[in-house]
Amino acid sequence: MGISNSDGYWGPPTSSIDWCEENYVVSYYIAEFFNSFSSFAMILLGEAACYSIGRLQSSMASSGTTSSSGGSSSHTTPGVAAPSLFRFKLAFRTITVVGIGSFLFHATLLHHMQMLDELPMLYSVLALFFCLIESRFGPQPAWFPILLTVHGMLVTFLVAFTEGNTQFYSFHVTFGSLEFVTLYLVYRVYRARKAEYPDVKQAFEVGIGLYALAIAVWMIDLNFCEAPLLAWLPQGLQMQIRDATSGRWIVMDLYLHAWWHTFVSMGLYLLSTVIMLDGLIVQGWKPKIEMKAGGWLPMVTVVGAIDKTASKKNE
């Protein structure tokens, strides 16, 4: 767990967990500096996706014509209705909200700010789960989103009104179980689409790899905060490295929770992109990924309509 050198501007932590970063070292006003600002990875990726989806929706809605996001070509697709992209935009926007809440939580380590971090994570996975169910199993009856909303409200109550380990494990068990089911459904999309759609294959494989890496560094940071990094070296070499670097060389020095934010943001972005690709295919469109922002940011566009028989789901 983290170490409090001083209370700082926000006072003693009231959250159920104090992460593995020394508090108020860089700034009197920011409890966990690196954990706070690494949260901007979620905000930037979430908003980039929302901007891209907004442009794509406008393009597809204009006279039944779709354009590549670079504007270099257009494809007329008469007879195919422009799809609704609202649920995908909502799913990516929840990633933005998670990033904002994460910044506020790590900057303050206050209980109510912790709720702004953890509960949006639950709402994000609920939104992605709904997108998957709609694509994989067809439009759902009106009671289904109501059921998901009630589930979110019950977990919100459970998490918001408990403390300590009870609060920590209550959230992670309820969130983790839904996260596992959602990842399994994304895997089913990958299995069904990878042969015909290389973009789905690549986005899933890179995304799940980054997601797994993120979970690994999260677990190490949580459980081995003060474990020595040089213990496997001969004692004499350990002393030489410590003398040369004037450092303790423990897990805390790696700022792994900040790396968790970075890796999980990229992994979640790519897996959410897989969900959007599948949703567009089901609605009768042929999507593709174009690399933007200097070739490092994948964004979804469409190249035209596909045969309706090709858009049927493969279970």
Query: pLDDT digit string (tens) for 252-287?
Result: 989 999 999 999 999 999 999 999 999 999 888 889
Query: What was the pLDDT predicted at 105?
Result: 97
> Residues 204, 264: contact at Cβ < 8 Å?
no
pTM check: above 0.95: no
pLDDT (tens digit per residue) in 151-180:
999 888 888 887 777 777 878 888 889 999
Q: Is the pLDDT of residue 62 over 90?
A: no
Q: Is the pLDDT of residue 194 over 50?
A: yes
Over residues 290-313, the mean pLDDT reads 76
Which pLDDT band holds residue 63 (cuts at 50, 70, 90)? Answer: very low
Question: In Å, how far are 91, 104, 274 from 98, measured between CA atoms?
Answer: 11, 10, 20
**Ranges 188-192, 286-290, 307-311: which has the least confidence:** 307-311
Q: What percent of the chain has pLDDT over 90?
A: 55
pLDDT (tens digit per residue) in 216-245:
999 999 999 988 877 666 777 667 666 666
Query: What was the pLDDT predicted at 81?
Result: 60
Q: Is the pLDDT of residue 147 over 70?
A: yes
pLDDT (tens digit per residue) in 4-26:
556 789 999 998 889 999 999 99
Residue type, 13: P
Residue of higher predicted confidence among 79 and 163: 163
Over residues 200-226, the mean pLDDT reads 95
d(CA 123, CA 131): 12
Chain length of the chain: 315
* Domain spans, the chain: 33-63+82-311
Which pLDDT band holds residue 315 (cuts at 50, 70, 90)? Answer: very low
Q: What percent of the chain has pLDDT over 70?
A: 83
Residue of higher predicted confidence among 125 and 305: 125
33-63+82-311: CATH topology is: Rhopdopsin 7-helix transmembrane proteins (1.20.1070)
The partner residues of 110 in beta bridges, in order of sequence, read none
